[in-house]
């Protein structure tokens, strides 16, 4: 075999330090210090403090939504949402999503009914749910993926004609718009994640948005066992409060969102330019929105054309210190806890199953430069050119 220059085959890695896939926003140190000094001076750590209140007001204004209710993270936000909406029995949810979407249903004592997604947009659609509806389904959890959105107006019409509640996991969609309306205003409510990997970061954090006053009052009372605002009766309460330290970072990240979005858009276009030359690599563009946050770079690896499977390519990139990952994996309807004995084993969701075998995420965000994008795409291109030798290499190492 020729000497191939890949870290997996013994060459030095292309990057000295691991290049993350997520945004990983870090404010500059002086700003961080002064924000933390404020918290020290006020001697106020949590319980709906001044920074959380300021952040909620900014979100409401920016999103044009009546209520932005900040929480510890999106997972707890989704669990609180199920309780606030008083959902019962079964909820339709795509099997192609991050596991937290579905785990929130488990925590709320609800049963997920998995639907497939569209092969081109990766989003759920009415066509994928009509045939799985039964009398025990009370709601639909839409998931807006990759800085794009599902066909919300069709889902809304379908939901209301079948008397189903509709709400959204919009963890990927902060700042995105459909026409003049920002994501955050659709369905009964929407949940954003401000996890460190997301474009708007509170380190950990999230937010439930709604235009419904009663629902908002319920959510605020569920969020804290201390209660807050108008005391409406709720059965369960939790601790989903966002701390002042989280809100301090979130406020800085919010201020820099336009700059970070622009930078990601720029990097995304570079990826598009370089990747479109490589056979078998399909970059997924955010669909269904008029403005995207370009939070993630996701592509499909078509093994038949590219020569190597997604898993092999991810292995090759990881060795170069590029933290590419399979995303999402595994298909959620294959997990033992959602298998219901044999019931789901026979459940075929072909698009989800294909995407879970072929999609990978590449780095974008604050730590990624133009040069890094060029280098990453160069490695993928070389992997394609060397596919025959790499196939023999992988055969030799039996993986
Ligand atoms: C990140 C993410 C979540 C979970 O958000 P946390 O804030 O980490 O709890 C839920 N759903 C999707 C689709 C996500 O990407």
Q: Per-residue pLDDT for 340 more than 70?
A: no
Cα 170 to ligand 1 centre (Å): 8
Segment 39-54, tens digit of pLDDT: 999 999 999 999 999 9
- DSSP labels, 295-312: --EEEEE-HHHHSS-HHH
User: Burial of 309 by CB count in 10 Å (0-12 exposed, 13-18 middle, 19+ buried)?
Assistant: middle
Q: Per-residue pLDDT for 154 more than 80?
A: yes
How crowded is the C-beta side of 3, counted as CA atoms within 13 Å?
A: 2
Average pLDDT over residues 241-255: 98
Q: Per-residue pLDDT for 227 more than 90?
A: no
What does the pLDDT read at residue 226? 82
CA 356 to chain centre: 15
Segment 298-337, tens digit of pLDDT: 999 999 999 999 999 999 999 999 999 999 999 999 998 8
Q: Per-residue pLDDT for 399 more than 80?
A: no
Cα 76 to ligand 1 centre (Å): 10
What does the pLDDT read at residue 342? 53
Contact 7, 368 (CB under 8 A): no
Q: How far apart are CA 313 and CA 383, in angstroms?
A: 8
Q: Per-residue pLDDT for 143 more than 80?
A: yes
Tell the residue nearest (CA) to atom 2 of ligand 1.
171
Among residues 5, 17, 7, 10, which one has the least CA distance to residue 382? 5
What does the pLDDT read at residue 229? 72
Structure tokens at 385: 């050119």
What does the pLDDT read at residue 243? 98
What does the pLDDT read at residue 347? 81
What does the pLDDT read at residue 341? 53
Q: Per-residue pLDDT for 398 more than 60?
A: no
Q: Per-residue pLDDT for 344 more than 70?
A: no
Q: How far apart are CA 95 and CA 80, in angstroms?
A: 21
Q: How far apart are CA 216 and CA 222, in angstroms?
A: 10
Q: How many CB atoms lie within 10 A of CB 344?
A: 20
Give the H/E segment covering residue 381.
helix 370-385
Q: Per-residue pLDDT for 195 more than 60?
A: yes
Contact 100, 74 (CB under 8 A): yes
Buried b / exposed e across 32-59, counting CB within 10 Å, b at 16+? Answer: eeebeeebeeeebebebbebbeebbeeb
Cα 102 to ligand 1 centre (Å): 10
Which residue out of 77, 97, 101 has the highest number of ligand 1 atoms within 8 Å of its CB and is therefore the one to mutate? 101
Residue 343's pLDDT band (boundaries 50, 70, 90)?
low
Among residues 186, 180, 197, which one has the least CA distance to residue 157? 186
Contact 253, 200 (CB under 8 A): yes
Segment 113-137, tens digit of pLDDT: 999 999 999 999 999 999 999 999 9
Q: Per-residue pLDDT for 91 more than 90?
A: yes
Segment 171-185, tens digit of pLDDT: 999 999 999 999 999
pLDDT, the chain, mean: 95
Residue 73's pLDDT band (boundaries 50, 70, 90)?
very high
Q: Which residues contact 9 (CB under 8 A, 6 or more apart)?
A: 3, 393
What is the number of the ligand 1 atom nearest to the C-alpha of 76? 9
Q: How far apart are CA 362 and CA 378, in angstroms?
A: 13
**CB-based pocket (< 6 A), ligand 1:** 73-75, 97-98, 100-101, 143, 169, 171-172, 193, 195, 206
Which residue out of 192, 193, 208 has the highest number of ligand 1 atoms within 8 Å of its CB and is therefore the one to mutate? 193
Instruction: Return the bridge partners of 341, or none.
Output: none
Q: Which residue has the higher pLDDT, 374 or 336?
A: 374
CA 71 to chain centre: 16
What does the pLDDT read at residue 231? 83
Among residues 104, 24, 7, 3, which one has the least CA distance to residue 389? 3
Contact 360, 309 (CB under 8 A): no
Q: How far apart are CA 247 and CA 14, in angstroms?
A: 36
Residue 345's pLDDT band (boundaries 50, 70, 90)?
low
């Amino acid at each position: 075999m020729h000497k191939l220059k890949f870290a997996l085959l013994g060459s030095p890695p292309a990057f000295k330090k691991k290049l993350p896939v997520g945004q990983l926003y870090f404010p500059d140190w002086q700003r961080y210090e002064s924000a933390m000094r404020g918290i020290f001076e006020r001697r106020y750590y949590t319980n709906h403090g001044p920074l959380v209140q300021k952040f909620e007001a900014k979100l409401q204004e920016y999103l044009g939504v009546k209520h932005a209710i900040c929480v510890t993270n999106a997972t707890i936000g989704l669990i609180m949402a199920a309780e606030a909406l008083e959902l019962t029995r079964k909820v339709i949810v795509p099997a192609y999503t991050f596991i937290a979407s579905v785990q929130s249903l488990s925590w709320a004592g609800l049963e997920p009914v998995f639907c497939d997604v569209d092969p081109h947009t990766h989003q759920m659609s009415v066509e994928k749910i009509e045939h799985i509806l039964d009398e025990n389904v009370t709601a639909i959890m839409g998931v807006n993926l990759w800085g794009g959105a599902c066909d919300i107006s069709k889902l809304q019409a379908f939901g209301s004609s079948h008397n189903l509640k509709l709400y959204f996991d919009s963890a990927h969609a902060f700042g995105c718009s459909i026409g003049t309306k920002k994501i955050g205003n659709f369905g009964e409510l929407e949940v954003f994640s401000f996890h460190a990997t997301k474009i708007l970061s509170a380190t950990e954090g999230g937010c439930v948005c709604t235009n419904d006053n009663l629902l908002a009052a319920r959510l605020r009372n569920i969020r804290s066992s201390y209660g807050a605002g108008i005391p409406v009766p709720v059965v369960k309460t939790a601790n989903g409060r966002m701390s002042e330290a989280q809100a301090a970072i979130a406020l800085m990240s919010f201020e820099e969102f336009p700059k970070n979005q622009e930078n990601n858009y720029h990097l995304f276009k570079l990826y598009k330019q370089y990747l479109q030359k490589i056979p078998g690599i399909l970059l997924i563009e955010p669909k269904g929105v008029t403005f995207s946050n370009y939070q993630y770079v996701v592509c499909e690896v078509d093994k038949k054309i590219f020569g190597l499977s997604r898993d092999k390519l991810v292995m090759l990139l990881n060795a170069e210190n590029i933290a590419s990952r399979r995303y999402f994996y595994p298909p959620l309807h294959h997990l033992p806890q959602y298998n219901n004995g044999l019931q789901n084993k026979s459940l075929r969701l072909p698009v989800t199953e294909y995407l879970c075998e072929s999609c990978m995420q590449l780095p974008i965000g604050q730590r990624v430069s133009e040069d890094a994008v060029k280098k990453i795409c160069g490695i993928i291109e070389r992997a394609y050119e060397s596919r025959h030798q790499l196939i023999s290499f992988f055969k030799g190492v039996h993986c």
